[in-house]
Structure 1
């Protein structure tokens, strides 16, 4: 600013000789031209010296009117009037007989303070408005780019369900004071694992007092029939009573034990014969493993001598369905099942059978694998199973994924990975489970980073007094290494072993658990060990008879609950592997064509061996039952067999 004034003064002085003013107008000009470069100071009135910046010629001071050096008649709130005339040069600053004092300045005659406040307010409003507009512009651009580069998320379906469907489990007992606060045995979780554990505890210690804390609103019940037998019942009242018919027609309840089997929570400690009490609808937030204290969700503490964590697992979901509401499976015309594993395939077959008398109902099954159970079965058997599922009336959409889901006229519009739309009434998501390990961090318990689940040793111990079993346990298998299993048989066996060890048995987990799946009453299989379609397999099949199916097994045993990966390519084979994308695509299509069943080919029953380093690590019994002990023996031997056809004879698959 100082430099600007110096340049302005220099310019005025430079053009001064060209200005000519008459004597009459000289003083009028001074009023305005001297405003911009007149020097003001705060010197005292008796100080008559003027500051001089350069030598000037002597002038006759008598001709000057001292009052003309005063800045009179100023109008600070208005700009000076422009002067354009032919006048003489105005006197310079130093020609004043005495300096101009700030105190001699006239006072402004307008309300400049109010005007300045209004101007500041306007400037502030303009600044705020500009900031808001800039933020909105940036947000709009960001939202547009994000919507453009990310898949469409599903919006919440407007169709509501009844309050009964959405209610949280009822807490029984409602008063937490009725829950015992010091128990010998505490079981966290109320599923199959906990049921098997407290049966083992009561067998070893008949007077034991066991408290089960379950977030579920029901007593322990079976899970496998929920995707199989319960859908084959034609009696709706039977289903409402949570009962089902097994394949042989015998009737059974979903609950392991009737309600009168259990002791009320408030009566548990006073019971002379002990008992099992279940606090339903309650959950444990964390455990103090040093003090042996578990804390309820409301903060109440429960002391224990021995504790079992059997929290199980929670169904996984797809991102596009995270905000979707549950729906009742009633009065529908179409349903889509997402998932091609055990649960998805079983549900597809079960729903197709249940709706066989309703030809207008359409059932779609969508999964990313090439065939049903593609992660478990060899490719040729997976394709054969897919054809079997299609024959039941299910429209199978393999090699597909759901990328978006939006509501449309009270239904759900799905967008598949190939871009095709699919509109259905209901959607069932069956894409696996994840273990419930939420209490791990706060309870100082370790979780396996690869397999998930609480880390335990071979005795299923996380601490000397704390045991973990079932789906949420990642245990050490002395034969196959560290594992985490999500099947019914494992829940039964690991729960039983944990219960026995809680009473002092100290047994290692050496049992090879099995799992099974039934695609209706005519096709079923049992498996043991590592069953992975990525492993090399050898299958030996024979013609099936009427006795080789799940229905015949249940008729014989009257029991429907059957319980008792390598990606590296060998070096010599790499030269045959397709390298380009087109070559890989053609090779895949050719392999699919060769793997598809030939006309008339029927895999009635057989044995599939899964190999790792030429050693059998997994066995699947396809429509072969009551041979699991033989399979366990083959796995235990850990031999390399020259001819697996001879091994298959041990299972008597060729018997009529």
Structure 2
């Protein structure tokens, strides 16, 4: 049996940040990382962003996080199937038993599959570097790719593909692409950018079933129409991978429940990243599936594994880049909320404030406005003192 002072289950960006957080306080304690992925930790956002748009964005220099610098020991392509909290061990799918003093669950989530289709070289859930490599081969062959889902991954992948020679059809349940997040005028402008780039956008539609053949993939939509393509990509979000924790008797509620110090109800077991449901100091209990949270929460979890006992006080931001536009946001960004729009140039550059039922700011969307996320966090922190008519001009676009 192998033993580690610190054992991390999951090999994403949380694992890298946690290992580095551990090393800030403990330069020598052994770190083990067990991951289902076949690659060491890498910068996941690059899979749908820079790797498609920047030919100089190399894997070794820009994407591989070089977590080996921490001295961690990696076991890749391996799944942890159980935790024995009393013995402080985990068991893997190949029967190995690994001991720990402190355990971090960074299991992330499992992507939602397309109905009736199993993942293959033609059917991608787009969660890993292996998925990127497969999709890149399709793009290089000028394939027709249907992308299902109009949120972050779906829109970024569709934009990356069409800019690299692929023919792209994008299917979204929104009546207008981005309509679940953005005000109507902004959503219309967002969709038009895709249309102008040559993406065929099928709005107001969901996939009901799919069939893979030797030559391609056929999707049947909820209006009975079909789309046949060389490959299909599912950008349908994830389900948090909580089963391991639940089987071990840990509290689970839309994620593994943790305290402000990221510890579960077992003082030796922590959780962080996509899988952790934690108390945000500004926004209450939430689970966040974005890179800023993975990096900052991962680092804090690592420090706390090493005994820091510090609260996680960071309210994370999220961002997206498609074509020549980019947006950043903090908090809840949803078209179901009332909005106050403050445009320097309508639907091109500006700030959108999303208000809850009490007319308090719950989220701030920065459209082609960079470097203002700290100001957005300040607005959220001071929300009770801000009336809607005080919001225009509060964050400037310059």
TM-score of the two chains, using structure 1 as the length reference: 0.55
Q: Which secondary structure state, in structure 1, belongs to the residue aligned with residue 72 of structure 2? A: strand
Per the alignment, residue 130 of structure 2 pairs with none
Structure 2 residue 300 is the aligned partner of structure 1 residue 497: yes
Give, in angstroms, the shift of residue 467 of structure 1: 0.3
Per the alignment, residue 182 of structure 2 pairs with 377
Q: Which secondary structure state, in structure 2, belongs to the residue aligned with residue 278 of structure 1? A: strand
Contact 1:342 1:517 in 2 (8 A): yes
Q: Which secondary structure state, in structure 2, belongs to the residue aligned with residue 649 of structure 1? A: coil
Give, in angstroms, the shift of residue 332 of structure 1: 4.2
Q: Which secondary structure state, in structure 2, belongs to the residue aligned with residue 440 of structure 1? A: helix
CA displacement 1:292-350 (0-9 Å, x = unmatched)? 222232333322211111011121112222x3532341524421111100110111111
Q: Greater Rg, structure 1 or structure 2? A: 1
- Distance of aligned partners of 1:255 and 1:409 in 2 relative to their CA distance in 1, 3 Å threshold: closer
- Distance of aligned partners of 1:277 and 1:371 in 2 relative to their CA distance in 1, 3 Å threshold: same
Which one of 519, 522, 527 corresponds to residue 329 of structure 2? 527
Structure 2 residue 198 is the aligned partner of structure 1 residue 393: yes
Give, in angstroms, the shift of residue 608 of structure 1: 0.7
Which one of 196, 203, 218 corresponds to residue 39 of structure 2? 218
Q: Which secondary structure state, in structure 2, belongs to the residue aligned with residue 632 of structure 1? A: helix
Contact 1:332 1:425 in 2 (8 A): no
Contact 2:174 2:204 in 1 (8 A): yes
Q: Which secondary structure state, in structure 2, belongs to the residue aligned with residue 461 of structure 1? A: coil
Task: Flag as ranges the 4+ runs of structure 1 deviating above 4 A.
Answer: none
Give, in angstroms, the shift of residue 489 of structure 1: 0.7
Per the alignment, residue 121 of structure 2 pairs with 326
Q: How many residues align?
A: 381
Gaps (5+ residues) in structure 2? 123-133
Structure 2 residue 341 is the aligned partner of structure 1 residue 539: yes
Contact 1:332 1:426 in 2 (8 A): no
Structure 2 residue 367 is the aligned partner of structure 1 residue 622: yes
Per the alignment, residue 65 of structure 2 pairs with 256
Aligned runs of 1:97-246 on 2, under 5 Å? 181-234=2-55, 242=59
Q: How many Å separate the matches in 2 of 1:404 and 1:442?
A: 32
- Computed over aligned residues only, the root mean square deviation of the Cα atoms, in angstroms, reads 2.1
Q: How many Å separate the matches in 2 of 1:459 and 1:539?
A: 36
Q: How many Å separate the matches in 2 of 1:442 and 1:412?
A: 36
| Structure with bigger RCO (C-alpha 8 Å, 6+ apart) | 2
- Distance of aligned partners of 1:432 and 1:444 in 2 relative to their CA distance in 1, 3 Å threshold: same
Per the alignment, residue 393 of structure 2 pairs with 649
Which structure has greater strand proportion? 2
Per the alignment, residue 460 of structure 1 pairs with 262
Which structure has greater helix proportion? 1
Q: How many Å separate the matches in 2 of 1:507 and 1:471?
A: 20
Per the alignment, residue 349 of structure 1 pairs with 159
Q: Which secondary structure state, in structure 1, belongs to the residue aligned with residue 23 of structure 2? A: helix
Contact 1:340 1:374 in 2 (8 A): no
Which one of 222, 230, 250 corresponds to residue 425 of structure 1? 230
Which one of 91, 95, 99 corresponds to residue 303 of structure 1? 99
